Amino acid sequence: MPLHQFDYIFAIGTIFAALDAFMIGANDVANSFATSVSSRSLTLRQACLAAAICEFGGAVLVGARVSGTIKNNIINLSTFHDDAGLQMLAFTCALVASSSFLTLATRMAWPVSTTYSIVSAIAGVGVAVGGTDAVIWGWNGGKGLATIFAGLLIAPSIAACFGAAVYLITKFVILVRKDPVKTGLVFSPFYFFVVAAVLTMSIVYKGAPSLHLDKLSDGSTAAAIVGTAAVVSLLSLIFWMPYVRAKVVKKDYTIRWYHFFMGPLLWNREPHADAGTATAAAHVPDYRVVREEHVQPVHKDEETPAARPTDSEGGSVEEKAGSEFHPPAPVRHHSRLAEEIEKKDLDPHPIEGAWIEPKNLYIIFRYKAGPFVWKLFTHGSSVDVHALQTGKSGSRDAERQNDMYARAKQYGNETEHMFSFLQVMTACTASFAHGSNDVSNAIGPFAAIYEAWSTAQPLGKNTPVPVWILAFGGAMIVIGLATYGYNIMAILGNRLTLHSPSRGFSMELGAAITVILASQYGIPVSTTMCITGSTLGVALCNGDIKAFNWRSLAWIISGWILTIPVVSTLAGCLIGIIINAPRLPTA
């Protein structure tokens, strides 16, 4: 029998669980894909599509079917005195506090930890209900509140070391070689093997709670990791290498993404006759943040000699005119009204007659309202993130960014193109693991609310999570990234340091290794902190501390530090006011 007297609490919990999941997508997932978008391995729209598939798939297919009602054992269930209604209220207040702070943080472009946010909220609720003794403040085997504070330092430091190590190996083995493309092709099977092994470990140890892969024996786990890595490496030889050889070595600009599946058939494919020439189309994308060449713009009013009109006797008409003086045409100054009239005249689908007429209604819905609504809904996936990161041209901010970029070496597009594949693979796998594991930050408390409301029974140690709740959380995460994720991406990526596929790949792999090690030793770390620390480590490999934006790093760290006291205080005050509010006497 549901607790219908508390339907309003369940409704409020549903709303703020949706908002929390939405902001996880806009904040947490956005900072995970910021490196891929910043390095131009993925466009913002492609990143949104990849996240939609990986985050939603991870949440629904292998997401946690059983969620701990008390995140990381921060407080004890006995704190609520077996009162189902009080438990509902507590988790609702935690979601309200967490989602409200995440909304503010995302608006202010603070990449914060969504895990730390919900844990801090639950800790604040615990203190308000049961006092300071209700919270487990110590280490508690890596599950107590002390681990939160330790993670602020541990996660970025370890990730910086691993990110720097991966990039330095890549730099001296491939990037600085005389023929980096050929060297990259030779070492590519090894890279695919290592990356696949690391990503498989991330799925085994962190990203598939419902499959219980972390419960496998050591021998089975090792066999699964090595076997998966070997298969991926073999597939890279069969499909990836012929594709990249045709596209990068042979400079065949006619190659499209679907040719990848032709595999060995591409090995002897002859490129177009003009492949590799100056007049040929670009065979790989331009990954450079700073363009070195400067092309003078051609103005429409400046005609080349070949374009000038000539008569049958040769020579231009202007030259035939001799010394005749032609006064310049008067400059016309249009009023705003005139401009609007001209725009109306240029409208290919004007409204003529009453707007209520059927033909005009069709024009309004087909050519006016439809495009406007489409632009409104796709704005979040069509924003120019690179322009937001590099600053407005000519501004002091842009000058500072350009000075930072000048201290980092940019490598050839053909070499960087090879690493874009590895970076996309790393980003997508990390997104899948994130969707399957971290979606519980939003739906874990909501599942507890739903269980208490629907059964009217006090919560146990673990709460079953229905599939529809996983789908609900996964969908809101995807919508959050697609509509508002660009605001967080603007403060990351090229805003912190110069990005490229090789650098972005090193950052993401370094962060993934850190998460795996932390999971093995029971240290809860934030993916946000890992990717930020890894970015710092790779930036320092440029050999110049000014190749990193320390001002932006200070802004990010301030958000991390403020999360814990602000969210815990907000959640504690909220439930404290509610449960201690004056009431009318009962009859």
- What residue ranges do the domains of the chain occupy? 4-210+403-579
> Between 44 and 70, whose confidence is greater?
44
Asked if pLDDT for residue 427 goes beyond 70, the answer is yes
The tens digit of pLDDT for each residue in 373-394 reads 777 777 788 888 888 888 887 7
| Average per-residue pLDDT for the chain | 82
CA-to-CA distance for 74 and 508, rounded, in angstroms? 29
Residue 558 has pLDDT above 60, yes or no: yes
Check: pTM over 0.75? Answer yes or no: yes
At residue 343 the predicted structure's pLDDT band, cuts being 50, 70 and 90, is low
Q: Which of 5-9, 333-337, 495-499 has the lowest mean pLDDT?
A: 333-337
> Under a CB-based contact definition with an 8 Å cutoff, are residues 247 and 284 in contact?
yes
- Under the banding of pLDDT at 50, 70 and 90, the label for residue 440 is confident
pLDDT band at 319 (very low <50, low <70, confident <90, very high): very low
- Of 235 and 276, the one with more pLDDT: 235
> Is 162 strand, coil or helix?
helix
Identify the three-state secondary structure at position 464: strand
Residue 560 has pLDDT above 60, yes or no: yes
How confident is the model at residue 64, as a pLDDT?
Answer: 65
The residue that leads in pLDDT, 264 or 339, is 264
pLDDT digits (tens, 9 = 90+) for 214-270: 677 888 889 999 999 999 999 999 999 999 999 999 999 999 889 999 999 999 888
pLDDT digits (tens, 9 = 90+) for 52-71: 888 888 888 766 655 565 55
Q: Which residue has the higher pLDDT, 353 or 156?
A: 156
pLDDT confidence of residue 288:
87
Question: Any idea what DSSP says for residue 98?
Answer: H
pLDDT of residue 1: 65
Whether the per-residue pLDDT at 317 is higher than 50: the answer is no
Phi, psi (rounded to 5 degrees) for 438 = -80, -5
CA 584 remoteness from chain centre: 50
Name the more confident of 116 and 78.
116
The number of beta carbons lying within 10 Å of the beta carbon of residue 492 is: 27
Instruction: Determine which helix (DSSP H) or strand (DSSP E) holds 516, and give its type and residue range.
Output: helix 501-520
> What whole-number distance in Å separates Cα of residue 419 and Cα of residue 431?
18
- Mean per-residue pLDDT, 265-281: 86
Predicted local distance difference test score (pLDDT) of residue 535: 94
Using one digit for the tens of pLDDT, what is the confidence trace for 466-485?
888 888 988 898 899 889 98
pLDDT in tens, 515-546: 888 777 666 677 888 899 999 999 999 989 99
pLDDT of residue 282: 86
pLDDT at 296: 41
Alpha carbon 83 to its chain's center: 40
> What angle, 0 to 180 degrees and rounded to 10, lies between the N-to-C axes of helices 501-520 and 30-38?
150
**The predicted structure's pLDDT at residue 415:** 93
Q: Rounded to an integer, what distance in angstroms lies between the CA atom of residue 294 and that of residue 437?
A: 47
* Per-residue model confidence (pLDDT) at position 522: 63
